[in-house]
Amino acid sequence: NAGVTQTPKFRILKIGQSMTLQCTQDMNHNYMYWYRQDPGMGLKLIYYSVGAGITDKGEVPNGYNVSRTTTEDFPLRLELAAPSQTSVYFCASSRYLIGDTIYFGEGSWLTVV
């Protein structure tokens, strides 16, 4: 049962570097999301996608980009990493537009130094 798979689990970046967080799901879900969670804070939506070829900004999109070329994959790109992007990143997917059906990945811990 793979579900939602994120890579890498841990990464240390230097300020100004770029990287891509990979996310793939094997449940044929239309909807995919990227969240970040800062210490003591709730999850905040970065970007989401309602299907292949369609993406939209969430609450905190600045400094990130996404693409959705296939149903399965939803990579998150960090351009010019900044210390403020130190966070835990969660990818998620859902079959329907209802919150009860969201499946989250295990998270990716990113530190920018």
Partner 1 sequence: DQQVKQNSPSLSVQEGRISILNCDYTNSMFDYFLWYKKYPAEGPTFLISISSIKDKNEDGRFTVFLNKSAKHLSLHIVPSQPGDSAVYFCAASEANNAGNMLTFGGGTRLMVKP
Residue ranges binding partner 1 (CB under 8 A): 4, 31, 33, 35, 40-45, 48, 56, 58, 90, 92, 94, 96-107
Complex with partner 1: residue 92 or 112, whichever CB lies closer: 92
3-class SS of residue 21: strand
- Closest by CA to 86, choosing from 49, 53, 111, is 111
Complex with partner 1: residue 20 or 37, whichever CB lies closer: 37
How far out from the chain centre does Cα 109 lie? 11
Complex with partner 1: residue 40 or 62, whichever CB lies closer: 40
